[in-house]
Structure 1
Amino acid sequence: MGLFGCCFPTSSTAYAPLPQSMADLTIRNLTVTPLELKLVERFEGHPTSGGGRKLGKIKDKLTGSKKPPGVSHNAQLQGEPREDSRVSFRIGPFETHATPIRTADPSREVIRLTFESAGHRYQIDVPRATRQSSVMTKLDGGPNEYTAIYVESGNCLTIFSSAHLPSWMSELRDEYHLSALSLPGTHNSPTSHVALPSVRCQAVGIRKQLDNGVRFFDVRVGVSSSSTDLPLVHAAFPVSLKGTKYFADMLKKIYAFLDDNPSETLIMSIKREGIGKGTDQDLSRILKEHYYDGKRWYTEPRIPRLGEVRGKIVLLRRHENHESLNGEFGARGWGLDGSVWPDNCEDGRLGSGIARVQDFYEVDQSTNIQKKIELIHKHLERAGEPVFALSASGNDEAPRPFFINFLSASNFFRANCWPQRIAAKANPAIIEYLCLRHGEEGKAPVGLPVGDACTGIVVTDWVGGDGDWDLIRCIVGWNAKLQLKK
C-alpha cells in the first residue's frame, strides 16, 4: 500500500528521474463526491504560443510577466501515450492529497488523468493548451459534472462541482441565510458599455453576468428631485458614451432572468452618485414609489434565508431613507442598511452591523496592487471562519454578517491603475488562492480556524472577458461544502 491507503502505480514505463523544475502533483477535491484517480497517461506535448487565448496575452502584457499567477505557456497533446500507469488514489469530499505523480513539463508534456466516481469515469488533461478551466470529459455518461483548474505554481489540480450557473442556487437548501453563501459579485455592474477606460469596470452586460452565476450587483445612479428617471453612472460620469443608460431598463433584464430562473436571488447595492441635485432621501422615495414591487423585491431590514427570497432582488441601500420609510417593518426602516459605509477600508463595519467590508481602493501605483491582494486574502479568510447553523426555526441565533470583499481598485490619473489593468493582476491571484489556500488549515495569512469556508461576497471587475468565468466558478464552487451538512 502507498500513501494515504492508496496503491503505488504500476506502469509499462518507469517514471523518469524528477527534474529540479518539476514536482509531485497535488489533487484537491472540492466536491461533495469521493473521487479515485485510476489511470495516468503521459503524452508528448507540442508547445502552443501564448496559451491559445487573447486574454492570456493581454494578462502577460499588463502584468509585465511571461507567466501570470498559476499558469504557463502550455503544450498541445499529440500522439499516443508514452507512459500508462494504473493507480489508486482516493480523495474524499473536500480533501487534499499529494501524490507521487510527477507533474508535466508544461511546454513539452501533457498528463491525462482518469478518475472514477460511483462507478463512472471522468477524464482531464493537465495542463491544457489553453489557460481556462476545463469540464472533465465523461467517458461513460456519468451523472456528475466536474470542473478542473490546474494551478501550476502549486502543482495542484483543483476539482469543483460544475454547478449549472444560471440556477446554481437550486442546489442549496432554503434554510441558509444569504450570509452563509459564497456569492460572486461585480463592481459598478452596469459599466460594460463603451466608456472612458477609467469608468468601464465590466467586460460583459448584466444578463450575461447573471447567466454565469453573478449574484451581487453594485449599482450607482444619478438622482434629480424633478424626475423619476435614474441614469446609471460611475462617479460623475455616465456608464456609456453612446447615450444614457437607465436603471429601469437594467431591471427589465434582471426580472426576465428571475422569471427564467425562479430558484435564484440577487443582492443589489444601490448608491447615489453623479452630478444630479437630488438627495439620498429623493432616491429612496423614488425607488419606493416607482420601482419597488413586493413580488420582485425584498426590502425588510434583516438578512433573509434563501427560501424567503428566491425570485427576488434583495435591497442593500447605500443611501439614507426618506423619513416616510422610517416606519416600515415595525419602525425598523426599509432595506438592508448600508448608508454608513466605511471608506477605503481593510475590515470596516457597516453602521447597521450587517456586514464587514474590505474596500481598499486607493491604489496609487501598480506595485501597490500586492497590498490589495493581501487584504483580499485576509478577508476571504475571515469569511471562511464562521460555522453557519442549519435550522428553519425563527428563534435561532442571529445570522452572521456578510463579508463583502472588493477586488476592485483604481486611480483615475494613472492608466496602469485603471480597472481592467488592476483586474488583470487581481483576478488570477484570487483564483490561485481559492484553488490552493482557501479553506486549508494553516495556509491562510492570519491563521484563523476554518469553518464552513464561505468566501463571502466577492466583488469583481472584468470577469467574463473572452469567455473567462473561472473566478466566478471558483466562488460558486465553494457553496458545495454547505451541501455536506445534514
Structure 2
Amino acid sequence: MPGTHNSLSFYGGDIVQTQSMSLTNQLLSGIRVLDIRVRHFYDKFAIHHGFVFQNAYFGPDVMAPITAFLAANPTETVVMRLREEYNAQGNTRSFNQTFQDYKNRYGAFIWRPYSNNPTLDEIRGKIVILQNFSGSRHGINYGYLDRQDSYSVSTNWDLYSKWQKVKAHVEKAEHGRRDIIYANFLNASGGSFPYFVASGKSSPQTSAPRLLTGLTTPGWKNSYPDFPRVGCFIGICSIAFEGINNLLSNYIANGHTDFTGIVMADFPGAGLINNVISLNNNDR
C-alpha cells in the first residue's frame, strides 16, 4: 500500500515541507496510508509538523475529505496513522477524549478494531486508525507494525545508507510472515532537505538536475552501485545521487521484489505509487 509521510506538511519551507499534493489528490492518485500529526489545541486537533502549524484542522481538512472519498468509493479503505505533535495548549480534556469527539461525528466511517491484521473485505469503506497515542483502543496499535523509520541523515552522502535500510526492509517484508504489517518509511531529513532525499535533485522542481556525489568511474566504480552514472566521456562517468523514491520504484519495476508492505514517502510520484499498487496483482 502506498502512503505519505507527514501527509499534510505543505508549509514551513524546504526543511519542513514533505508533500505537494492535496489530501484529496493523494487519495485520487492511489495513496491509501496517511500520516497525520496533530497538536492538541483548545480541545481540537490542529495539523502540525513539529512546531509549524499547517493551516489545517483534523475535522474539515482530514476527516471531511477522507469520508467524502470513501462515500464515493465504498470498496476502498484508508489507513491513518494518528499521533500527537508539539505541545498541547488550552485543553479541558485528554487527547483521547478529543479524538472520541471526532469519532462520534465520523464513526460510521471508522473501523471498529477486533484484529491487528484485518482482511481488506473487513475494512472496505472504512478508516483504519494506526493508533500512535494512549487511551482506549480505536484501531491497530502503531507499535504492532514492523517498521523501518530511520529518518536522520547528517549530510547528502548519507542518502545511500538510507537506501540500504529501505531495501533491507523490503527484503524483510518479502520473506516475512503475512500476519505482520510492514511499514517502510522512505523519508529522511536533518542534514538534507526532504525533497532531496525523495529525488536526489538540486531543488524541488521536477526538471532540476541531480546533484553529483563528487565520485567518478572507473576509479570509484564499486561505490554507490545503485546510483546512476551520468555525463560519461571517454570512459569516465560521474556518479550522481538518486532519490529514494526513484530507487524503490525502479527496484520494483525491475522485478527485485513482489511484496513491500506499506511504503511511506515524501513527494511520491505516479511511478512509485503505481509500482507499489501493481504488486497487489501478484499471486502470493
Give 1:213's aligned residue.
30
Matched, 1:247 2:37: no
Amino acid at match of 1:233: H
Change (3 A) 1:306 1:372: same
- What is the CA distance between 1:462 and its match in structure 2? 0.7
Structure 2: distance between partners of 1:377 and 1:301: 32
- Contact kept, 8 Å, 1:264 with 1:311, in 2: the verdict is yes
Give 1:429's aligned residue.
247
Structure 2: distance between partners of 1:199 and 1:184: 21
Matched, 1:195 2:6: no
Structure 2: distance between partners of 1:295 and 1:379: 35
Secondary structure of the structure 2 residue equivalent to 1:428: helix
Give 1:137's aligned residue.
none
- Contact kept, 8 Å, 2:11 with 2:52, in 1: the verdict is no
- Contact kept, 8 Å, 2:59 with 2:102, in 1: the verdict is no
Does 259-268 or 299-308 show the bigger shift? 299-308
Give 2:278's aligned residue.
477
Per-residue CA deviations over 1:57-97 (Å, capped at 9, x if unaligned) read xxxxxxxxxxxxxxxxxxxxxxxxxxxxxxxxxxxxxxxxx
Structure 2: distance between partners of 1:386 and 1:288: 35
Structure 1: distance between partners of 2:94 and 2:51: 18
Structure 1: distance between partners of 2:177 and 2:14: 41
Secondary structure of the structure 1 residue equivalent to 2:46: coil
1:294 to 107, 112, 122: 107
Matched, 1:418 2:184: no
Give 1:154's aligned residue.
none
1:315 to 102, 105, 129: 129
Structure 1: distance between partners of 2:255 and 2:109: 38
- What is the CA distance between 1:437 and its match in structure 2? 4.5
- Contact kept, 8 Å, 1:299 with 1:336, in 2: the verdict is no
Could you list the runs of 5+ residues in structure 2 that have no partner in the other structure?
A: 200-242
Structure 2: distance between partners of 1:270 and 1:251: 12
Amino acid at match of 1:246: Y
Q: Which has the larger radius of gyration?
A: 1
Per-residue CA deviations over 1:272-297 (Å, capped at 9, x if unaligned) read 01232479x82221111233433200
Equivalenced residues, count: 237
Secondary structure of the structure 2 residue equivalent to 1:458: strand
- What is the CA distance between 1:362 and its match in structure 2? 1.0
Identity %: 28
Structure 1: distance between partners of 2:78 and 2:128: 6
Amino acid at match of 1:273: E
Superposed counterparts of 1:80-479, under 5 Å: 183-191=1-9, 193-224=10-41, 227-239=42-54, 244-249=55-60, 250-277=62-89, 282-292=94-104, 293-300=106-113, 302=115, 303-321=117-135, 325=136, 333-338=137-142, 350=143, 354-386=144-176, 388=178, 400-411=179-190, 414=191, 417-424=192-199, 425-439=243-257, 453-464=258-269, 469-479=270-280
Secondary structure of the structure 2 residue equivalent to 1:223: strand
Give 2:225's aligned residue.
none
- Contact kept, 8 Å, 2:30 with 2:273, in 1: the verdict is yes
Secondary structure of the structure 1 residue equivalent to 2:183: strand
Structure 1 vs Structure 2 CA RMSD: 1.8
- What is the CA distance between 1:203 and its match in structure 2? 1.5
Amino acid at match of 2:49: H
Structure 1: distance between partners of 2:273 and 2:248: 11
Change (3 A) 1:428 1:476: same
- Contact kept, 8 Å, 1:301 with 1:334, in 2: the verdict is no
Higher relative contact order (CA 8 A, sep 6+): 2
Structure 2: distance between partners of 1:406 and 1:387: 19
Secondary structure of the structure 2 residue equivalent to 1:294: helix
Structure with greater helix share of residues: 2
Q: Which runs of 4+ in 1 moved over 6 A?
A: none
Per-residue CA deviations over 1:246-278 (Å, capped at 9, x if unaligned) read 111121111111111111001100010123247
Amino acid at match of 1:230: F
- What is the CA distance between 1:245 and its match in structure 2? 0.9
- What is the CA distance between 1:454 and its match in structure 2? 2.1
- Contact kept, 8 Å, 1:216 with 1:266, in 2: the verdict is yes
- What is the CA distance between 1:301 and its match in structure 2? 5.2
Amino acid at match of 1:305: T
Secondary structure of the structure 2 residue equivalent to 1:190: coil
